[in-house]
């Protein structure tokens, strides 16, 4: 996993259950470039071990006695803001809500505890999740250390000058807004969706890479903050202007035009671009239903999900916006858009909401 020019990452495993401490440790031992520096059994023990071992990464259970994961995370951020924290969560409604709060509080991402009774299968499940996460974290740390930045802020490259973008941006009118996001998504979405106007004249479709239950909690949180309704999408919903639809975790979401109306289709189709829900899967249908009148936003996240769909939309004349490098938690998905010259605009996170206001204030496109 780790290139030869990167140093070994030292990981502190924190979980109140001995079985999961063992499984997480075993899974991490199987990943090249990773060293398990130690284990801890609750939040207070984690903080003591952190001070002693100085790990690069801490895996942090949500539900623990004495000091829970969220409280521990906040203390870690105070004591050692450069330490990367990866939450380990159970698939319950309560854990989902707490995990989302942790992601907003500075955890880089989360993995899901397997719920089966087969130890080896559970270990493999954890290892598959950890391999992807550790590869991302290794890249973040390498780049941050090269620039002397805090580890929760990453700058892979400067914003491209407007002259480097491939064409002048369209200015509408638009018929929909599509958003694709992964690592760092809950905080990014919270900086954008609540600022969409109450009289928004287009539907909003969102794909956030996240497991089941977590997307429902995320939709509920955004709904509470926003001027427009935000829901976890269900099969057969009619897409209406002024509403936001979040793809359910572990499912794919696409759009279908029927009798003049746009209908949401939720499917169990295979992964696309290694993801489910997939941004590419959604954008392929956005291109078919809305074509040049679509406005698409690619936010922070690892990998290249969204690249294929944005290329198709760009070729149709639709508008594509990418989040800028220095405001991404992980500059992966937006980087693919920028480097393939598919971005009409590259914007910092704090400038996206106001730009959307400008672009969407025109009357919606009527095909």
The candidate with the shortest Cα–Cα distance to 166, out of 346, 301, 357, 303, is 346
Residue with tokens 């930045």: 149
Those residues with Cβ within 8 angstroms of residue 259's Cβ, 6 or more apart along the chain or in another chain: none
305 carries an active-site annotation: yes
Strand partners, 329: none
Selected catalytic residue, list 182, 217, 226, 293: 182
Q: Crossing angle, helix 93-104 and helix 69-79, to 10 degrees? A: 10
166 carries an active-site annotation: no
Selected catalytic residue, list 42, 61, 304, 305: 305
Backbone angles phi, psi at 231, to 5 degrees: -130, 155
Residue with tokens 């793809």: 247
Selected catalytic residue, list 209, 220, 278, 293: 209
CB 114 within 8 A of CB 125: yes
Backbone angles phi, psi at 111, to 5 degrees: -125, 160
Cα–Cα distance, 175 to 92 (Å, whole number): 36
Active site residues: 182, 209, 305
């Amino acid at each position: 996993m780790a290139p030869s020019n990167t140093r070994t990452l030292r990981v502190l495993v924190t979980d109140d259950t001995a079985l999961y401490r063992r499984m997480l440790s075993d899974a991490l031992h199987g990943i090249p470039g990773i060293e398990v520096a130690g284990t801890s059994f609750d939040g207070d023990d984690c903080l003591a071990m952190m001070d002693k071992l100085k790990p690069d990464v801490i895996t942090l259970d949500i539900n623990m006695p004495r000091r829970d994961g969220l409280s521990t995370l906040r203390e870690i951020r105070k004591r050692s803001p450069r330490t990367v924290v990866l939450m380990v969560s159970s698939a319950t409604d309560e854990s989902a809500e707490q995990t989302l709060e942790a992601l907003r509080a500075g955890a880089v991402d989360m993995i899901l505890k397997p719920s089966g009774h087969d130890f080896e299968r559970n270990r493999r499940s954890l290892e598959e999740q950890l391999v992807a996460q550790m590869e991302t974290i290794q890249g973040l740390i390498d780049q941050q250390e090269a620039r002397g930045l805090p580890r929760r802020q990453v700058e892979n490259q400067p914003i491209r000058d407007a002259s480097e973008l491939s064409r002048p941006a369209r200015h509408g009118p638009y018929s929909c807004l599509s958003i694709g996001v992964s690592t760092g998504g809950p905080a990014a979405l919270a900086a954008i969706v609540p600022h969409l106007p109450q009289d928004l004249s287009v539907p909003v479709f969102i794909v956030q890479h996240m497991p089941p239950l977590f997307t429902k909690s995320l939709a509920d949180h955004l709904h509470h903050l926003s001027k427009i309704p935000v829901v976890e999408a269900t099969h057969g919903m009619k897409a209406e202007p002024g509403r936001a639809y979040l793809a359910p975790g572990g499912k794919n979401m696409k759009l279908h035009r029927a009798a003049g109306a746009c209908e949401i289709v939720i499917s169990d189709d295979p992964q696309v671009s290694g993801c489910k829900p997939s941004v590419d899967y959604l954008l392929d249908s956005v291109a078919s239903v809305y074509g040049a009148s679509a406005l698409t936003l690619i936010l922070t996240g690892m990998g290249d999900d969204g690249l294929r769909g944005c290329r198709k939309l760009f070729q149709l004349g639709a508008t594509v916006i990418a989040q800028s490098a220095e405001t991404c938690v992980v500059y992966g998905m937006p980087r693919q858009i920028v480097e393939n010259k598919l971005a009409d605009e590259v914007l910092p996170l704090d400038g996206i909401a106001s730009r959307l206001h400008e672009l969407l204030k025109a009357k919606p496109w009527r095909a």
